[in-house]
Each structure stands twice: as C-alpha cells, then as structure tokens.
Amino acid sequence: MKRIFSGMQPTGVLHLGNYLGALKRFIPIQDEGECYFCVVDYHALTVPRDPAELKRKTVELAGLYLAAGLDPKKATLFAQSHNPDHTEAAWMLQCVARIGELNRMTQFKDKGKGSDSVTAGLYTYPVLMAADILLYQADEVPVGEDQKQHLELTRDIAERFNREYGDTFRIPEPKIGKAGARIMGLDHPEKKMSKSAASDANYVTLLEHPDSIMKKFKRAVTDSENEIRFDPETKPGVSNLLSIISVLTGKDISSLEKEYDGRGYGHLKIDTAEAVIQELRPLQERYTRLMEDGEVERVLAEGARRAREITGETLAQMREKMGLITRIGL
C-alpha cells in the first residue's frame, strides 16, 4: 500500500487556495493509501508570532482537517511538534543539504526579502519539510503548485543521502492537482492567493460568512473586456473564477466558457460565490460541532502515537548510517 504525507501551517487563516490546492484533495486520497497529515507547528515558528495564538491556530487547523472530511480511522492526523523525530532528522539532513540549494528557494527569497533579520529557521525551513516527508518513507505528497520547488529539494536531499550513506529513503513524488493547484488572489489575480496578503480582499477563508464571501467575489478584480475566456496570461481574474467554479462544480472549463458566453462577468462572479458558499456550508457546520466536544485533542494524541511508531524506524537507520552511537535505554 502506498504511503502519502502532507502538511499545512497553522498560521493566519486557511483560505480557498489551501482548500482547493490541498485540503479538499486529501479527502479522497485517504482511501488510496496509508495517509499521514500534519499540522506543521514547528514550521510556524520560523516567523515570530504570538504563542497563545499559535496554540489556538494549531487546534483550529486540526479541526478544519476533520471538518473537511478527514477520517481519523483511515488517516493519521497529528501535530508536527508531538513527534520530535522531525527536528532530529531535520538537523541530520541540514548536514546533507547545501547552502547553494537553500539560496535558490524562491519562497525564502519572497518571504525573507533579502533582510538579515529573518530567522535562521526560515532559511532552513525546506529541510524540515524534507525531514517531514522522508521520515515517513512517503511515496506521494499532495500539495499546491507553490510547494513544487520544496519537493524537488526533498528528492535531491534523499538521493544524495542514499548515495553517500547507502539506500535509506524512498524518493517521494509531488502530486499537484490538475485544477486548483494555484488559486489567485481575488484582489490581485496575477499573484497567488496568500494568507500573508496585505488585504483580506485577497482571500476567502474557510470559516467566512456567506455574505462576506459573496461580497468579496462581487468585488473580485477582472478586466475591462466582457468576454468570458480562460487565458491566465491576459485574463487572470476571469480565469481564476473559471478555475474555482470548475473545481467545485466538476464542469470543465470549455463547457463553462460556452455556458457563460455573452452573460457578463457579474453572473460568473455570483455563481462562483454560490458554489463556494455551498461547498463550505457543511464544513462550517461540522467545524462548529467538533470544536465544542474536545474531539480534536483526542485525535491529535492518537495521531502522534501512530506517527512516532513509523518514524522511529527511519530515524534509527539514519543515526546508524551517519555514525551516531546507539542510545542505550531510549
């Protein structure tokens, strides 16, 4: 049975991009293999944040995984920091990764903006991500388009380790969806939807009120023509709406272009907002119920136990191969 691993950061808000590029896709995948899904709270420490808020967001994100349909009987859901094997393996892999490789990471360049005062953790963040994946011997990693470069680095680190120390890691494949892998900002459709965007007009959150969702879609930036055509280069706003409604309704883009031909942008915006509201309604209802009954903490505790069972074996192999002596009694 193939093994699948993915993670999401408990920072900011979970938005429609996270949902369509990742979370929604995790639900059918849990029937395809042995799945591990992680709330990557160690990763969230790379940017300074309020400790009380991080705790709250970690539980909230776990609640959102469950509300979206993740079944803890089928898949393992856990908080990254409940399995410290991740940080131990990350240190060892930092001694395999090259500075040149980390310097090429576009996400660090975007977030770090060349400043000397960003944390060292932000710089080595992709190596922690590689540790997350490799410790579980994952075959597949479902992610959005923006994580592709991190997955390539993970593969390079694994191949180098296998060459230098002997065969240890399975080489993971990124699984990027055909549609929805790069949802664009509603206010700036030439850039991806992002939780760190300057304005909340950029995104729709998974817990957003239907009226607010409708308002944001009605105000979504499009262009000055009135032709509904999928062309991300010259018509990023309209193309983004078409992508969103296509993933949610299952209709392909060309049939949507025909359906909306001559009907103007207003209709497309309203119908897209309606599709999003319909999709999120049951998730929002389940989320409210889950947060009331303490279920999330129980699931995370059991998930951590299962996660550690798997990673102990890989970590022991890494220690042995790199020349660390056996830990007696541990």
The catalytic residues are: 111, 192, 195
Site track for ligand TYM across 40-79, x = CB under 6 A: x--x------------------------------------
For residue 7, state whether it binds ligand TYM (rule: CB under 6 A).
yes
Question: CB of residue 323 vs ligand TYM: minimum separation in angstroms?
Answer: 27
For residue 299, state whether it binds ligand TYM (rule: CB under 6 A).
no
For residue 144, state whether it binds ligand TYM (rule: CB under 6 A).
yes
- Paired tokens of 142: 């479902």
Closest residue to ligand TYM, judged by C-beta, is 21
- Paired tokens of 242: 């078409």
Burial of residue 113 (CB within 10 Å: 0-12, 13-18, 19+) is: exposed
For residue 220, state whether it binds ligand TYM (rule: CB under 6 A).
no
Compute the Cα dihedral for 200, 203, 207, 210 and give only its sign: positive
Among 101, 146, 152, 227, interactor with ligand TYM by CB under 6 A: 146
CA distance 76 to 303: 5
Among 60, 85, 132, 140, interactor with ligand TYM by CB under 6 A: 132
CA distance 97 to 160: 9
Nearer of residues 72 and 185 to ligand TYM, judged by Cβ: 185
Question: CB of residue 7 vs ligand TYM: minimum separation in angstroms?
Answer: 3
For residue 70, which of 303, 308, 310 has the smallest C-alpha distance? 303
Taking CB under 6 A as the binding criterion, the range among 20-28, 250-258, 279-287, 309-317 that sits at the site for ligand TYM is: 20-28
C-beta separation of 89 from 135 below 8 A: yes
For residue 183, state whether it binds ligand TYM (rule: CB under 6 A).
yes
Q: Is 17 annotated as a binding residue?
A: yes
DSSP secondary structure, 78-110, as one string:
EEGGG-THHHHHHHHHHTTS-HHHHHT-HHHHH
Burial of residue 199 (CB within 10 Å: 0-12, 13-18, 19+) is: exposed
The arrangement of strands across the sheet holding 173-176 comes to 75-79, 34-39, 3-8, 140-143, 173-176
CA distance 180 to 272: 14
For residue 272, state whether it binds ligand TYM (rule: CB under 6 A).
no
Question: CB of residue 147 vs ligand TYM: minimum separation in angstroms?
Answer: 4
Beta strands in the chain (DSSP E): 3-8, 34-39, 75-79, 140-143, 173-176
For residue 22, state whether it binds ligand TYM (rule: CB under 6 A).
yes
Question: CB of residue 152 vs ligand TYM: minimum separation in angstroms?
Answer: 13
Q: Is 146 annotated as a binding residue?
A: yes
Q: Residues at the annotated binding site for L-tryptophan?
A: 132
Q: Residues at the annotated binding site for ATP?
A: 9-11, 17-18, 144-146, 183, 192-196
Residues that bind ligand TYM (CB under 6 A): 5-9, 17-18, 20-22, 40, 43, 129, 132-133, 141, 143-144, 146-147, 150, 181-183, 192-193
